[in-house]
Structure 1
């Protein structure tokens, strides 16, 4: 599933392509036809992301909510439109470009109240200027749940997925099963600041890269630029210990048992 940087990058691209323009909207597939007709001819005001959600404001207080889910794609192309290919749920078109949405989990018109409800139930998003990390810290410090589960809980932190979860825990030498309440505030603040920087890099370059500059000589040219994600059975880039994997809340964990020692609690 796309992580938060993907949605933020998509929002930026949509703004650069359509913001301030009157656009034509249609649903070649037909599943969004009624709502697309309501948006047709309206001005594209602005797109933004909130965690893994895309929110697009159109004139007249009309709001498009999109969640790509596992298979959704929202592809933007410059130039005159061409006949739709495949199951296009929504097409947004101007005189100079068009964008096709395929396979989303959600594509729906929302009211401002529905948007407000979404933002209220999401945790802070490291990519949003209005993010308040204290909200996440208050949830984490009171929880007995593993930090590896809390980081993936969108009501705790919005936009963090499996890749950022695995990599941020490695970068801060934290075992994924360490209870949230066993974290020190300084550890959380360091992780938050790191996520802000890493996810901003993801927006800028269009992919997740988490290996520090001083360790890039340990990464082969064709390797994923990550420390532990999907590297189970391979040696840790830093200590050589075999990377392990397990399942937590339906998702795979990846960690180095030496760099991320198990939490033993207080004796």
Structure 2
């Protein structure tokens, strides 16, 4: 739109915007109205908000509202992704090809949940390794129904995400080696929850599970519906020895 600089540039041919008398005063009033309307329609006032402030606004919104805001423009999409710290991810095998682009957008994730439906094939060790490399600042990780993840994937997670403070798994297929890797590498681990861990079917072959370097930081252990849960027996000794455990948080549901 061309810039209007004076009333002489504005010609209504004898009529005003509201059908009244064509006077110099009305012309100028109409000019101010039209120019103001043009500014309101064309100017993006949100561009004056710094990225840091925009990120704080997004953090006050619900997950659904954040998703809708990310569709407004490229800048909002970028800021919303960079300021998101919590993510829940469908862990079906088909998602593996999209993981690089997902974690390029969401590069600041510290709390991650991956979940796979029982009827689907889950992501594998390579996918978990990629996630652990892209999310080295994870403090909370929850994994459900990922039957294709083995000791190798858990070793990668333990080595790359040493800042983990909370770990929860359910209906997974790795075993004692994977658990020990986690407990030996994540020295800041405070909460451990294990349910239906299916990788320890042979109690004679499975190695015992101890607290490792996490012994001084763990405060809560929840074990439920385990196969050969006696592999976790050494934890009982540590729970009784260290005073940092909260009595009400330790639940032994060994199967």
Question: TM-score, with normalisation over the residues of structure 1?
Answer: 0.23
Asked which structure has the greater CA Rg, the reply is 2
**Greater strand proportion:** 1
Looking at secondary structure, tell me which structure has more helix per residue: 2
